[in-house]
Chain A
């Protein structure tokens, strides 16, 4: 089953009178339970691609299909709803709410939908990322890596179908990286697709395949990108 499909997606930004093409007619297909890592130089369009898949942004042209539903022309509030249902985000800068504890931060997304999630699940997720003893700490009492792990736990609270992470191991040492990647791999076994933007070779090791972006285009420099860029 296909979890994510980008069909001929182009994204242009207008800044002043200049047009920047962040993504140029790309086709990407990610299957259910697949772990795809996205690499590429800075400014090559990696975050832009995640935002499009995460329904935060709309393509200039082309179509975005998530969970079998074409989301390109959805209304803003439908997209917001869908984000809450099927997408899990771990942002480059985590964005924890400073006045909520780790556990409350993890539970925060559930405040916006009808599903009642108890603090038990939030605690369990924190335990899985190795923060079982930090549930009642506030973000300013946590290290950068711990905050990142809270953000990962938060991204899983709504049992997403697609997990999008920007540098998931960016702030983590080797051991913790391994642990997090182990957790992410475990999540995949339940059918969750993972798309991870990274510079970390270790992430690539865990991934089923790696996609490379250069100047908004998919590069075929890698042998295992055969499925990318062709017909879905």
Chain B
């Protein structure tokens, strides 16, 4: 019966459904797109979260970190793997090919880099590890020799590229050599601490600030995890903003359902009065009106979800966005939530018309 009442004023019901569909679409689509962006972004920035970079504080006139300060840092952060690094840029060559590279001198490359071929020694005294781009440019493999401005080395490892791991020291153009190769005794350019987790990293960062910088700001402490946090914050702000846009359109849709139901309740005043006269209780009237509102809401929400699914499929096929981002659980969460909210909005919009129809005095309704 409810369905037949709705088909009676097909155009009006259609508009109300379309309103709900658009509202559900807006919530779901904006929520999903926000989520896809966030998933894509976090999978790109992936693993940087747990590193802390300590550099000399240029503003206070420090240009390097002396050995004693490195010791202080290591003591303050005992347990957190760290590498004191010297940096220089220069040329490297092999079999007549030359490339410009960045030299990193450190005793402990394992704290900063990961090897994709070969392995990084616990204590680095001989040999060199090269970045993937250097390896490609110079056609180097583990076991080959590389000639550089700072000496000739046998390659012990090729480093993982930055696509899989973002590092504060960029690995692609790196040639990592033992510290002694660059060592001048003047101190280090940076110390990298690799925490196990974001929490561990910020603990280590705090420890460095409290000890090394206790009296004077000798070093600058930079936490990548804080960047990640900011990015996360940004994305939750973004999706909150997008979802509230969607919510506004759903509220508008709710008002249009309210309007449709109100109009139909007024139009059917006499009919509702007769239902009450022949034994229909107030509750029966409420139920009938609510069922109609819910029917509008469900139909609208189904269309909205279908529309969103098409948009998501288009996103997947037409843009380079990956399947893992598109089919993230968040996508289904937003689809489900938008559907639920669409139906809930319709129920809420139906309550007032239902209430007013049920409380109409049947005598008045029938008299005129």
Contacts and interface: CB of A to CB of B under 8 A. Distances in A.
Interface of A: 47, 51, 54, 56-57, 76-77, 80-81, 83-85, 89, 91, 93, 95, 97-100, 108-109, 111-113, 154, 158
A110 to B, nearest CB: 9
A158 B8 contact: no
A56 B362 contact: yes
B367 A89 contact: no
B281 interface: yes
A99 B277 CA distance: 19
B209 interface: no
B36 to A, nearest CB: 44
Given A95-B270, A95-B366, A97-B271, A54 B277 contact: yes
B270 A93 contact: yes
B279 A83 contact: yes
B279 A158 contact: yes
Contacts of A111: 1, 280, 284
Nearest to B268: A97
B274 A95 contact: yes
Contacts of B277: 54, 56, 83, 89, 91
B279 A113 contact: yes
B362 A112 contact: no
Contacts of A77: 281-282
Interface in B353-368: 362-363, 366-367
B93 interface: no
Contacts of B280: 80, 84, 109, 111-112
12 contacts: A56-B277, A56-B362, A56-B363, A83-B278, A89-B274, A93-B366, A99-B1, A99-B5, A100-B1, A100-B4, A109-B278, A112-B275
B354 to A, nearest CB: 16
Contacts of A158: 278-279
Interface in B128-175: none
Given A47-B367, A99-B4, A99-B8, A112 B274 contact: no
A51 B5 CA distance: 28
8 tightest A-B contacts by CB?
A84-B279, A109-B278, A95-B274, A99-B4, A112-B280, A112-B279, A57-B363, A95-B270
A84 B275 CA distance: 10
A89 B279 CA distance: 11
A56 to B, nearest CB: 5
Interface in B1-58: 1, 4-5, 7-8
B276 interface: yes
Interface of B: 1, 4-5, 7-8, 270-271, 273-282, 284, 362-363, 366-367
A112 B278 contact: yes
Contacts of B275: 108, 112
* Residue from B5, B7, B271, B278 with most neighbouring chain A CB atoms (10 Å): B278
A80 B8 contact: no
Contacts of B282: 76-77, 80
Nearest to B288: A111
A95 B281 contact: no
A91 B367 CA distance: 9
Contact of A112 (B271, B273, B284, B367): B284
A57 B277 CA distance: 10
* Residue from B5, B279, B367 with most neighbouring chain A CB atoms (10 Å): B279
A93 B271 CA distance: 11
Contacts of B362: 56
A95 B271 contact: yes
Contacts of B276: 80
Nearest to B2: A99
Contacts of B363: 51, 56-57
B1 A80 contact: no
A60 to B, nearest CB: 14
Contact of B281 (A81, A85, A91, A99): A81
Contacts of A97: 271, 274
A97 B281 CA distance: 17
B279 A98 contact: no
A111 B250 CA distance: 34
B278 to A, nearest CB: 4
Given A109-B278, A109-B279, A112-B280, A91 B4 contact: no
A100 B8 CA distance: 11
Nearest to A160: B278
A77 B282 CA distance: 8
A2 to B, nearest CB: 23
A52 B42 CA distance: 73
A83 B277 CA distance: 7
A129 B275 CA distance: 22
Given A51-B363, A80-B280, 14 more contacts: A57-B363, A76-B282, A77-B282, A80-B279, A81-B281, A84-B279, A89-B278, A95-B271, A97-B271, A98-B271, A99-B8, A108-B278, A109-B280, A158-B279
* Residue from B1, B7, B277 with most neighbouring chain A CB atoms (10 Å): B277
Nearest to A51: B363
Contacts of A89: 274, 277-278
A84 B284 CA distance: 13
Contacts of A56: 277, 362-363, 366
Contacts of A76: 282
